[in-house]
Amino acid sequence: MATVDAELLAVVERSPKATSAHDRAGWVGLFTADGRVEDPYGSQPHAGYDEIGRFYDTFIAPRQIIFHRDVDISVDLTVIRDLMLEIIMAPGVTLNVPMHLRYDVRESVGDFAIERLRAYWELPTMMVPMLRHGRAAIPPSLRLIRALLRNQGVAGAAGYMRALKRPGRRARRCAETLLDAATVGDEMSSRRSMTAGASISLGEQRSLSMGEFIGRVRGGRWFKLIATGDTVTASVETATGRGVVFCEMDRATGKIARIRYFA
């Protein structure tokens, strides 16, 4: 298993290397032919090499992006990267974006390739520090808008803005309640945060009971809450190591419909 983990991490590590080198062919080539990029998660996906290439041209090629990695977590064929992304929009205009990246990897032509990349970060929240740069933020903002329209058209721009819709305050409070309760071992309060029939898994496939999930996080602490798309994510630190919790929210009730725990 350690050998596979090393191979998966090596594939994922090619992404920041290609980004730093502004290697378009190298970055696009990391994906399978039917690969998908959802960045930020909740925006319209970019599927296939052509669309992934247009994503690169819009968001990666024009600027310098630096990956400040905190921890990498591998479960089955998924790698979770907990990090801060430093995006240099223009001289003197830098954004520091807290993020959870999820890479789903599969074997392809004798190697591993990325089947799906989901970037969990908050588009509305990141607009605030951009505005704080005042007039200096106007030119890079206009360049981004022009690139978005040129590379992806009006429909693509509208699809990107779908990420403005995210779990509301009630859903975020529900996720916080779950995390507070689970880390102190309060199973009853944890269950109140879940919808009827909600599921919990380690990674994508291995089912966990609520008691098993609480047993894994009890005594730990959570931090770095991110709400985007239909999901609230959080970093978790426990006595046995680090993890990331993905809480898929039910929009009607504001409660948690599914938990995926990667640790």
Residues 120 and 182 placed together within one structural domain of the fold:
no
Question: Among residues 132, 124, 78, which one has the least CA distance to residue 101?
Answer: 78
CA distances from 251 to 1, 52, 174, 205, 228 (A): 38, 29, 12, 24, 12
Residues 37 and 156 placed together within one structural domain of the fold:
yes
Predicted local confidence at residue 4, as pLDDT: 58
* E-only strand ranges, 109-193: 111-120
Residues 117 and 221 placed together within one structural domain of the fold:
no
Residues spanned by the domain of 101: 2-164
Residues 125 and 196 placed together within one structural domain of the fold:
no
Predicted local confidence at residue 1, as pLDDT: 47
| pTM assigned to the model | 0.94
131, 149, 164: which is the final residue of a domain?
164
Residues 61 and 157 placed together within one structural domain of the fold:
yes
| Structural domain count, the chain | 2
Residues 154 and 200 placed together within one structural domain of the fold:
no
Residues 201 and 120 placed together within one structural domain of the fold:
no
Give dist(CA 116, CA 11) in Å, integer: 13
Residues 114 and 192 placed together within one structural domain of the fold:
no
Tally of CB atoms within 10 A around 236 = 23
Q: What is the pLDDT along the chain (263 residues), one digit of tens a residue?
A: 455 588 899 999 999 999 999 999 999 999 999 999 999 999 999 999 999 999 999 999 999 999 999 999 999 999 999 999 999 999 999 999 999 999 999 987 778 999 999 999 999 988 888 888 888 989 999 999 999 999 999 999 999 999 999 999 999 999 999 999 999 999 999 999 999 999 999 999 899 999 999 999 999 999 999 999 999 999 999 999 999 999 999 999 999 999 999 99
Query: Any idea of the CA torsion for 13, 15, 18, 20, to the nearest 10 degrees?
Result: -90
Residues 235 and 184 placed together within one structural domain of the fold:
yes
Domain of residue 91, CATH code: 3.10.450.50
Predicted local confidence at residue 148, as pLDDT: 92
144, 164, 184: which is the final residue of a domain?
164
**pLDDT per position as a tens digit, 115-145:** 999 999 999 988 888 888 888 989 999 999 9
